[in-house]
Amino acid sequence: MGAKVTVESTEFIGDPAEAFPIWLESQTLKSVTTPGYVPAAHTSALQIIGDKLAEDRTIASGKLSKALRAVTADPTITRAQVTESAFNGNAGYALQILWPLASLFAGKMPNRVATTTARGYLGWLDRINRVVIRGLSQEQSDAVSVVFDAVGDAYLQSAGSGSTGGADIVRVAEDVTDRVNTNEPGIYVFTTPTYLAYPPFGWNTEDVARHDFRYLKTGSTSIDVTGRIQTEIRRQTGLPEPYLIVAKFQSHQVGVDYAAMERLIHRVLGEARHGPEEDGTRRSSSRGAGTEWFVTRLPLVVVIAESLDLHLTMSQDLKSEINAVLEECELPDWILA
């Protein structure tokens, strides 16, 4: 593929195999080399894949093609710009498609891949493959299949073997949580490293409207009329991991009843059917532990808290560490401002 390619009267500038390595290098995405796959050994197959995807308008309603064109036309384009122009600002949806493209053309993949996330990437790779092989000769189809088999196998192996990334997240979780003084009045939002990294079991990872829902729990700390600290922040028995506090909210007003504020947040999440039960309802008290867990998004909890005149009160250093964990878990829409 040269500097300018014509595919059935559809032109686009650039070569994806040249553009994606440049683009990925300038992003904050943490990647590793795709094991067992070297793009330079498959230049002919990648040319076919690039040409086919450039003209396609079916995968993700044309969003994949639009993203491909954006990166190949300008490898210096930011991820935010690609997300806004091709995916209407849905950063998580963008990553679900950009990672398979980066794996194909740059030979890179996320440095940690959960089993459910791997299935999502494999689903996109399968869609891409089915579009690409249409109308190809047997020789071309075989060459393309080698590429998709190699990248697909790498995702399967990564999900099955695990990585040290999980241990790193646990260490960061312990450090971050230890630095948060939960005896200060306020509302705290927390989860566990595993809950943050992986969607709920059985979750439909292809549902782009709910792909980044995770288990979250809130806890509040108040000072009662006698001046004693009343806190609900406890290390829950039965969980083999430390809690990871991802947000802390406080009011500028004095004497706020944070327990009452927390109940309001629970009510909104419950009415939105973000509870952990199959029908989205909250877990009843008769079920024992887990009544304060929800399957939801941190950005929604932030908006609810702000509507109650509560403000995110965390140091910039602390937010930076939490944001690094959120990036690691592929939750770019959760980044704390």
Q: What are phi and psi of 24, to 5 degrees?
A: -65, -35
- Residues 260 and 19: their CA atoms lie apart, in Å, by 53
Give the residues across from 219 on adjacent strands.
188
Residues 220, 137 share a domain: no
Structure token pair of residue 125: 């790779």
Instruction: Please report, rounded to a whole number, the percentage of residues in the chain having pLDDT higher than 70.
Output: 77
Name the strand (E) or helix (H) holding 250: strand 244-250
Structure token pair of residue 300: 């929604």
Residues 125, 53 share a domain: yes
Domain boundary among 161, 176, 209: 161
Residues 127, 218 share a domain: no
Structure token pair of residue 43: 């230049």
* Predicted pLDDT at 163: 46
**Buried/exposed 58-73: b ≥16 CB within 10 Å, e otherwise:** ebbeebbbbbbbbbbe
* Predicted pLDDT at 315: 85
Residues 330, 236 share a domain: yes
* Predicted pLDDT at 284: 54
122 neighbors 155 (Cβ within 8 angstroms): yes
Domain boundary among 141, 161, 181: 161
Q: What is the pLDDT of residues 29-65, one digit of tens each?
A: 778 899 999 999 999 999 999 999 999 999 988 999 9
Reported confidence tier of residue 241, pLDDT bands at 50, 70, 90 = low
Structure token pair of residue 253: 């007003």
- Residues 120 and 105: their CA atoms lie apart, in Å, by 18
Residues 96, 174 share a domain: no
Reported confidence tier of residue 69, pLDDT bands at 50, 70, 90 = very high
Name the strand (E) or helix (H) holding 220: strand 214-223
Residues 258, 111 share a domain: no
- 3-state secondary structure (DSSP) of residue 262: helix
Residues 122, 173 share a domain: no
- Point out the least confidently predicted range of 109-118, 160-169, 277-286, 290-299: 160-169
Reported confidence tier of residue 156, pLDDT bands at 50, 70, 90 = confident
Q: Using the structure block, give the residue that is written with the tokens 């996320």.
A: 110
- Residues 54 and 150: their CA atoms lie apart, in Å, by 22
Reported confidence tier of residue 323, pLDDT bands at 50, 70, 90 = confident
Domain ranges, residue 21: 4-161
Q: What is the pLDDT of residues 203-227, one digit of tens each?
A: 666 677 788 899 899 888 876 545 5
Residues 156, 172 share a domain: no
| Distance set, CA 129 to CA 48, 59, 101, 119, 136 (Å) | 11, 11, 12, 15, 11
User: Which residues, other chains included, contact 259 with Cβ-Cβ below 8 Å and sequence gap of 6+?
Assistant: 220, 222, 230, 232
Residues 313, 169 share a domain: yes
What's the alpha-carbon Rg for the chain, to the nearest Å?
23
* Predicted pLDDT at 329: 80
Residues 56, 13 share a domain: yes
Residues 303, 211 share a domain: yes
How many domains does one find in the chain? 2
Q: What are phi and psi of 245, to 5 degrees?
A: -80, 120
Domain boundary among 109, 128, 161: 161
User: Which residues, other chains included, contact 82 with Cβ-Cβ below 8 Å and sequence gap of 6+?
Assistant: 67, 70, 71, 94, 98
The residue that leads in pLDDT, 326 or 120, is: 326
Residues 327, 179 share a domain: yes
C-beta neighbour count of 199 within 10 angstroms: 22
